[in-house]
Amino acid sequence: MFFSPRRLLMGAATLALLATSAQAFDTRARAAFVVDYTTGTVLLAKNADQSLPPASMSKLMTLYIAFEAIRDGRLSLDEKLPVSSHAMSYGGSTMFLDTTDRVKVSDLLRGVIVLSGNDACAVLAEALSPDGTEKGFARFMTQRAQQLGMTGSTFKNASGWPAQGHVMSMRDLSLLAMRIIEDFPEHYAMFSERRFEFDGRAPGNVRNRNPLLALDIGADGLKTGHTQEAGYGLVGSAQNGDRRVIFAITGLGSERARAEESEAIVNWAFRQFAERTIVTQDKAVAEADIWMGSQEKVGLVSEKDISLLLPTLSANSLDAEVVYTGPIQAPVEAGQKLAELIIRPEGLPETRVPLVAETSVAAGGFLDRMMMVSKVLLKRLQDGPPTDPQEAS
């Protein structure tokens, strides 16, 4: 990658990189958040921090807490849990559980993921609740979500059943999806299962509602949601080669609109963006001025290759800036952090990369220091007296 630095005040330099602006996706969703999991690049954010009714998409939080309990040994996949009258009372999408049942945790997890069972959520909630109730579990869900950085989420139940104040943001849902994929890869395969038949009880409710799973576009999760208030939504993820895209959308008007919008988002994210190496490790991208050193400049390098997700249809303009406070007093050690490279792709978040000294620069000897002082004095004489009244004061 070729860099052409132009020196600015206080040791800043602008650089030219190869890229162009991102073409925003015009989504029909009321709120949406799309992120490239591999690079962490946010590709789309529309009302992403607005707390909205999440419907069954909030079941992902119940699943996360259940996965944590399994990991910590507080719950096991083969363990059988009782069904309370409260859990049995749920309507909507269910596993048709009753109080005579004792259900394996592995079946309950699939009942939540594939069948979107409200009753299955309540069974897990009561088993893991600090006080044995679903309300107590909901309070714990909210607390745990805050600890995970999900600041726009408040839970009133374990399933997303309509309740005043039960809300999540699309950014929070995407963050939760990323945490599930990253923290519990051993359980993630369940999200791509298309069918689950539990005891032959609900022949009309055996299919996963995620419309992307059957499209052969790399989709492997995670959860749909629908209520009258929330509309139709989906937390989705798809993988293509080394890249994974995660998104959350809500507020669509129909199942068909949800399916079409989800597929369009996945295709847009994979086709319109590609990962590119912008900075190569140990290759100088600029130079910093040195004061009173054995040499006047030192190269600035990154300690690792830097790759960014950029639009595939690239032009030749992307502003970047190397910023440091200088000149830098010698001595300087190789690898010492001296500057920061700020890359600003239009339409995408900026990226900041630490830059370090390429080589060591010793403090200058007497002759080096005298030469430096002489050059500064000579330049001031050549520039003449200041003309700005403020500079003369």
pLDDT value at residue 267: 96
Instruction: Return d(Cα 20, Cα 319) in angstroms, integer.
Output: 10
Catalytic residue among 46, 51, 56, 159: 56
pLDDT value at residue 19: 36
pLDDT value at residue 392: 41
Q: Look up 56 and say whether it is catalytic.
A: yes
- Give the start-to-end residue ranges of the domains of the chain: 6-20+277-363, 31-271
Tokens encoding 302: 């990154």
Taking the model in full, what pTM does it have?
0.80
Q: Look up 159 and say whether it is catalytic.
A: no
Task: Please give the CATH architecture assigned to the domain spanning 31-271.
Answer: 3-Layer(aba) Sandwich (3.40)
Q: Look up 379 and say whether it is catalytic.
A: no
- DSSP structural state of residue 167: B
H/E stretch holding 194 reads: none
Which strand ranges, in their side-by-side order, compose the sheet holding 319-323?
6-7, 12-16, 319-323, 337-344, 351-357, 297-301, 286-291, 328-329
Collapsing DSSP to helix, strand or coil, 276 comes out as strand
Catalytic residue among 59, 84, 174, 262: 59
Q: What confidence tier does 373 reach under pLDDT thresholds 50, 70, 90?
A: low
pLDDT value at residue 376: 52
Task: Please give the CATH architecture assigned to the domain spanning 6-20+277-363.
Answer: Sandwich (2.60)
Instruction: Return d(Cα 122, Cα 125) in angstroms, integer.
Output: 5
pLDDT at 209 over 90: yes
pLDDT value at residue 193: 97
Judge whether 6-20+277-363 and 31-271 match in fold.
no
Catalytic residue among 51, 84, 93, 116: 116
Q: What is the pLDDT of residues 258-294, one digit of tens each?
A: 999 999 999 999 999 988 888 888 789 899 999 888 8
